[in-house]
A and B are shown apart, each in its own frame.
Chain A
Amino acid sequence: MIWRRRKKLHKHHLTREPSTRAEAFAYCPVKSREVLEEVLEGGALILTYPLVIRPWLAGVAQRLGMGSTEPITRRLQLDEMGSLTWRLLDGRRTVQDVVDCLCSRYKLNRRETEVATTGFLRELGKRGLIALRSPHEEDREQSL
């Protein structure tokens, strides 16, 4: 189990939230380096990722002497569409690019694909499998 204490973020670490829908779709999903991929026979993926404990819970556990150095991992099996979406996340493609790819691959309605993709990315984000990099951040990195 990994017990982490959340570091206090300074203002310059916080990126501005997207104000419009178009801006939100320009964000790039970036995979976590801690995720391990396993390919199944049909091409579907199983993702193994470390479970991050909430800081307050980690604090309580440590005080009670329940802290352990063994990491807890969770596994997430993706279906074919989820696996394709995961493979499309190369750190360069934006959410919009991913939607475009899925739209043309499965001949789906754009709005429907947007809802499905954003829902899936939100779920991955909640589990800490991906993060979203803002387009401004990318510009800043390039200028540096």
Chain B
Amino acid sequence: MSVALPAVDISRALIRISHEIIEKNSGSDSIVLMGIPTRGAFLAQRLAQKISTIEGHQIPVGTLDITLHRDDLRMNPIRPLVPSLSPTGGIDGRDVILVDDVLFSGRTIRAALDALGDLGRPRSVQLAVLMDRGHRELPIRADYVGKNLPTSRSQVVKVHLTEIDGIDEVVLESEEVK
């Protein structure tokens, strides 16, 4: 197990991404942050906080549970649903920024795009992730990346956040040989 991103780097990456989001969208008037539970939701809250501080007004933030849109439901045991939270003002005509912790196969994001379509019709959808570990199985890429981390498929990237794990860090684990 090795630490891929310590707390100080997570904080730095989030500040940088906040600025990039404002820069790319020429301000923050039209943006809405949608976090993908569990940890993406906390990251979205943090980004919204930082952007609000920089811009001086509140950024709408919500969560998007994508469980019911997954394409691998039949392959795994049942997952309990996570309460989803609609952002104030909805997403119609807004620039929606999806936030997740790790970008891997891209299947979660595909499901999230479907789920967004049920909520409304955003003007654009962008993607922010803390870690991009490669191994995409779908034509999906992130607009904002905290850190690109080359991995092998058998490794596991674990994001820990203080809100739920008591500590901020990203660790890279090699799967144990059984």
Q: Do A and B come from one complex?
A: no
